[in-house]
Amino acid sequence: MPTVIEPKLISGNANLDLAKAIARRMSLYRGMNVGLVDARVERFNDQEIFVEVYENVRGEDMFIIQPTSNPANDNLMELLIMSDALRRSSAQRITAVIPYFGYARQDRRTKARTPITAKLVANMMVKAGIERVLTMDLHAAQIQGFFDIPVDNLYASPIFALDVHSQFRDSMDDLMVVSPDVGGVARARELAKRINAPLSIVDKRREKAGEVAEMTVIGDVSGKKCIIVDDICDTAGTLCKAAEVLLSHGATEVHAYITHGVLSGPAVERISNSVMKSLVITDSIPRSPEAQAAPNIRVVPTAPMFAQAILNIWNGTSVSSLFETDTLGPIYEGIL
């Protein structure tokens, strides 16, 4: 009788809390204990990364949970070295679960003599032995084409829609979804369709990276509770200024739903002092102590979605089914 190969999870140091939460959810779904493979991922004195896997993984279906967030280079190297260790230990298949895909903003040449680093990172992952990638809200959807292996890109908008229905159940007719720039219209439109709300755009013009020179609101936001939707919040300068501009145009409240809370530099202080009533992020990136203490920053979990996606990949069923509210709703029942 053939042996059933079970999915096995292993995690680096990038977001161990999320990895443990995914393991707990998988245990709940399967009715049996699913733990993280026992391994050590540490650094020598010269900061070289070393990985040792203590369990037998020969012939196993392995899932490495490792976002490549700050410090991006260290976390990326951990992922590559873990994959190499598993490949050399005869794992049957290696899937990289990357909740936040670092270097995704370098997806094209913006000027002469600049790299396309997202493509370079994709090449490195494939060479390291990774055979499938599971990620969430890639900054640019075309990055999936940088890989010569399957890439499953999950979306946070179904989770956000469930949260919006929970938080604004008494004022759904007053909501307006706002894209903070023209490039994010498709992402904002997706949430607007899910909650049946109108769409507005904040058109911004940059003088240089990290600075916004001018903002114009396209659409009537007067009397509306505005929900800004984006994939990444880095220094939060654009986000906080957009909130001010929306209020100046007659919005009654401004909230933000951002998938990846990078929150670098002065971001948390800016958000704490901003006119935004709330910023909702996912746990794709671990929060700093300052972000955890901020009263207007809230987190929605991604572990239920990732756990189900991993199980679907393992047993060969549809991952895109998780884009539907009817499928995702029961998974998040009692959580949001």
**Interval 159-172: pLDDT, tens:** 999 999 999 999 99
Which pLDDT value is given to residue 203?
Answer: 86
- 176 located within any domain: yes
Please give the average per-residue pLDDT across 23-43, as a whole number. Answer: 95
- 2 located within any domain: no
- 282 located within any domain: yes
Which pLDDT value is given to residue 103?
Answer: 97
The answer on 136 and 83 residing in a single domain is yes
SS (H, E, C) 20-49: HHHHHHHHHHHCCCCCECCEEEEECCCCCE
The answer on 259 and 176 residing in a single domain is yes
The better pLDDT of the pair 209, 310 is held by: 310
The answer on 45 and 94 residing in a single domain is yes
The answer on 204 and 178 residing in a single domain is yes
The answer on 325 and 198 residing in a single domain is no
| pLDDT band, residue 206 (cuts 50/70/90) | low
Domain that holds residue 99: 7-155+303-331
- 280 located within any domain: yes
The answer on 141 and 39 residing in a single domain is yes
Q: Is 46 annotated as a binding residue?
A: yes
State the Cα angle at 32 between 30 and 33, rounded to 5°. 120
**Interval 254-283: pLDDT, tens:** 999 999 999 999 999 999 999 999 999 999
- 261 located within any domain: yes
Q: Is 230 annotated as a binding residue?
A: yes
- 1 located within any domain: no
Please tell me the distance from the alpha carbon of residue 332 to that of residue 83, in angstroms, as a whole number. 31
The answer on 140 and 31 residing in a single domain is yes
- 55 located within any domain: yes
The answer on 249 and 169 residing in a single domain is yes
In degrees and rounded to multiples of 5, residue 103 shows phi and psi of 70, 10
Helix (H) or strand (E) holding 204: strand 199-205
The answer on 134 and 41 residing in a single domain is yes
Provide the domain count of the chain: 2
The CATH number of residue 50's host domain is 3.40.50.2020
Sign of torsion, CA 204 205 207 213? negative
- 126 located within any domain: yes
CB 52 within 8 A of CB 40: yes
> Which positions are catalytic?
204
What pTM value is reported for the model? 0.94
Q: Is 324 annotated as a binding residue?
A: no
| pLDDT band, residue 209 (cuts 50/70/90) | low
Q: Is 48 annotated as a binding residue?
A: yes
| pLDDT band, residue 94 (cuts 50/70/90) | very high
Over 90: is that where the pLDDT of 215 sits? Answer: no
The answer on 122 and 92 residing in a single domain is yes
Q: Is 238 annotated as a binding residue?
A: yes
Q: Give the HSE-up count for residue 102: Cα atoms under 13 Å, Cβ half-sphere.
A: 18
The answer on 166 and 253 residing in a single domain is yes
Over 90: is that where the pLDDT of 64 sits? Answer: yes
Give the closest residue to 268 by CA, choosing from 259, 284, 281.
281
Give the closest residue to 308 by CA, choosing from 12, 21, 4.
21
The answer on 273 and 167 residing in a single domain is yes
Please tell me the distance from the alpha carbon of residue 200 to that of residue 189, in angstroms, as a whole number. 9
Q: Is 106 annotated as a binding residue?
A: yes
